[in-house]
C-alpha cells in the first residue's frame, strides 16, 4: 500500500509570482522568479528545491542521531545550487551541494560514524532528487571539522 499523496496548490498572483498553499492550514508562501523575469518577491523555484533537499537532509540527520539518544542541536544546513545550460541551451539545476553543520563537537556524539554512513538513505526528497540531479553532501561539526 502506498503512502497518501502530498499536494500543494498554486495560484498566480501577478506575472511570475505565485501563492503556494499547503494542506493542514499551514500559512501560504509566495514564490517568484528573480529579475529580470520576475520581481524576486519570494523564493525562486530553484531556492525552493534547494531548501527541500536541505530540510530533508537536516531532518534525516537529526532523526538518525536522536535514535541513539544524541543531541546534535542546533543543526544548520547550506545548500548551493549550480544552475547552468544543458546541451539544448536550456537552464537547468546541474547539481546541489549541501553542507550540514552540527551544533556540537563530534566528540560529544556517540555512534556518529554509523549515523553518517546511513542518514542520507532515509532522506526521501534527496534520494528522489539525486536520481536526476547530482547531490553532494558534507557534514561538519561545530568546530568546523569535516566529518563526511
Nearest by Cα to 143 from 100, 97, 106? 106
Sort strands 17-21 and 29-31 into parallel, antiparallel or unpaired: antiparallel
| Per-residue pLDDT tens over the stretch 61-104 | 999 999 999 999 999 999 999 999 999 999 999 999 999 999 99
Task: Classify residue 55 as left (phi > 0), alpha (psi -120 to 50) or beta.
Answer: alpha
| Per-residue pLDDT tens over the stretch 121-145 | 999 999 999 999 999 999 999 999 9
What pLDDT score was predicted for residue 49?
98
- pLDDT exceeds cutoff 80 at 3: no
Task: Name the CATH superfamily housing domain 45-140.
Answer: K homology (KH) domain (3.30.300.20)
**How far apart (Å, rounded) are the C-alpha atoms in residues 94 and 134?**
7
pLDDT band at residue 23, thresholds of 50, 70 and 90? confident
- pLDDT exceeds cutoff 80 at 7: yes
Rg (CA), the chain: 18
More confident residue, 23 or 121: 121
**Residue boundaries of the structural domains of the chain:** 1-43, 45-140
The whole-model pTM stands at: 0.93
What pLDDT score was predicted for residue 5?
83
Burial class (CB in 10 A: 0-12, 13-18, 19+), 115: buried
What pLDDT score was predicted for residue 1?
57
| Per-residue pLDDT tens over the stretch 41-71 | 999 999 999 999 999 999 999 999 999 999 9
Percent of the chain with pLDDT over 90: 94
What pLDDT score was predicted for residue 83?
97
Beta-carbon count within 10 A of 89 CB:
6
Q: Which cell is 145 given?
A: 571539522
Amino acid at each position: 500500500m502506498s503512502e497518501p499523496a502530498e499536494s500543494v496548490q498554486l495560484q498566480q498572483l501577478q506575472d511570475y509570482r505565485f501563492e503556494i498553499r499547503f494542506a493542514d492550514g499551514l500559512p501560504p508562501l509566495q514564490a517568484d522568479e528573480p529579475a529580470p523575469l520576475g520581481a524576486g518577491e519570494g523564493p525562486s523555484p530553484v531556492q525552493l528545491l534547494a531548501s527541500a533537499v536541505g530540510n530533508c537532509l537536516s531532518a534525516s540527520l537529526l532523526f538518525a542521531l536522536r535514535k541513539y539518544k544524541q543531541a546534535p542541536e542546533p543543526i544548520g544546513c547550506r545548500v548551493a545550487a549550480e544552475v547552468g545550460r544543458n546541451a539544448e541551451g536550456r537552464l537547468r539545476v546541474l547539481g546541489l551541494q549541501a553542507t550540514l553543520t552540527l551544533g556540537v563537537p563530534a566528540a560529544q556524539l556517540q555512534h556518529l560514524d554509523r549515523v553518517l554512513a546511513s542518514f542520507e538513505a532515509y532522506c526521501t526528497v534527496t534520494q528522489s532528487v539525486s536520481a536526476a540531479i547530482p547531490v553532494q553532501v558534507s557534514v561538519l561539526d561545530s568546530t568546523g571539522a569535516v566529518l563526511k
